[in-house]
Amino acid sequence: MPLQTPKKNWWEPFNKEERIWLWISIAWCIIMFIMMPLGHMWNQNVSSETYKTNPDEYAQIVDNFIKKYQRKDAQGKVITHNGKTTGIPLVEAPTKDQGDTFLVAQAWQFRPALVLKKNKTYRIHMSSLDYQHGFSLQPQNLNIQILPDYSFVITMSPNETGKFFLICNEYCMFAGEKMGHDSMVGQVIVED
Ligand SMILES: [Cu+2]
């Protein structure tokens, strides 16, 4: 049988349910549209301060930063994130007035682990040495992309103490059972 041309008015008028859903969607679009400028006014946007860098230069900056601010015990021994001598360096970040803080994302770690003081303000630079990574501060749900060749700066003033985690939320490959994107977790400790 040959294909037939559909009737002229082949569509049906909207029924009641379709009409309800249509109005709900339109109302939601309008709410979201209004939320965009409101988000700006309430300062809900992360900073767009960005600098050009490159992996070699940034790695050098972070290494110098870690050497300068690394936490040490009474005997002058370096302390890492897990309290042992090996691990991710633990850094007492300088406040905004003292200097900038540098964080690097690299497959598959965030370096260094940061110690911040409650109610102080910090300027935190972040860049990647290889792929695109994500910076997701948990459980606060602050999300930023970290890309190589750019240093993104966020200015933050933690207002509660505790241990927070950084999770990479941009898939950056699987490298085996114990390594890879899903094991990429960093640490931020906020003290009084
Ligand atoms: Cu990742």
DSSP string, the chain: ----PPPTT-S----HHHHHHHHHHHHHHHHHHHHHHHHHHTT-SPP-EEEE--HHHHHHHHHHHHHHHB-B-TTS-B-BTTSSSSSSBEEEPPPTTT--EEEEEETTEEESEEEEETT--EEEEEEESSS-EEEEEETTTEEEEE-BTEEEEEEE---S-EEEEEE--S---B-SSSSBGGG-EEEEEEE-
Residue-wise pLDDT for 25-55, tens only, equals 999 999 999 998 888 787 766 777 899 999 9
pTM score, whole prediction: 0.76
- Do 183 and 109 contact (CB within 8 A), yes or no? no
The percent of residues in the chain predicted with pLDDT above 90, rounded, is 58
Q: How far is the CA of 178 from the centre of ligand 1 (A)?
A: 14
pLDDT number for residue 11: 78
Based on the domain organization, do 40 and 55 belong to the same domain? Answer: no
pLDDT number for residue 105: 94
Q: Residue 185 sits in a domain of what CATH number?
A: 2.60.40.420
Based on the domain organization, do 61 and 155 belong to the same domain? Answer: yes
| Separation of alpha carbons 14 and 8, rounded Å | 17
pLDDT number for residue 1: 63
Q: Does residue 1 fall inside a structural domain?
A: no
Based on the domain organization, do 96 and 38 belong to the same domain? Answer: no
Based on the domain organization, do 146 and 174 belong to the same domain? Answer: yes
Based on the domain organization, do 143 and 92 belong to the same domain? Answer: yes
Based on the domain organization, do 30 and 97 belong to the same domain? Answer: no
The count of domains in the chain is: 2
**Which residues have C-beta within 8 Å of that of residue 148, sequence separation ≥ 6?**
54, 55, 127, 128, 129, 130, 131, 132
Q: How far is the CA of 80 from the centre of ligand 1 (A)?
A: 22
In terms of C-beta density within 10 A (0-12 exposed, 13-18 middle, 19 or more buried), how is residue 105 classed? buried
Instruction: Give the mean model confidence (pLDDT) for residues 145-155.
Output: 93
Q: How far is the CA of 108 from the centre of ligand 1 (A)?
A: 7
Is pLDDT above 90 for 60? yes
Based on the domain organization, do 80 and 39 belong to the same domain? Answer: no
Q: Does residue 37 fall inside a structural domain?
A: yes
Q: How far is the CA of 120 from the centre of ligand 1 (A)?
A: 29
Based on the domain organization, do 77 and 134 belong to the same domain? Answer: yes
Based on the domain organization, do 28 and 61 belong to the same domain? Answer: no
Q: Residues 82, 63, 158, CA angle at the centre, nearest 5°?
A: 60
- Label residue 2 by pLDDT band (50, 70, 90): confident
- Please give the residue range of the domain that contains residue 110: 49-191
Q: How far is the CA of 174 from the centre of ligand 1 (A)?
A: 9
pLDDT number for residue 179: 80
| Separation of alpha carbons 93 and 72, rounded Å | 13
pLDDT number for residue 21: 96
Q: Does residue 4 fall inside a structural domain?
A: no
Q: How far is the CA of 107 from the centre of ligand 1 (A)?
A: 7
- Beta-bridged to residue 126, according to DSSP, are 103, 152
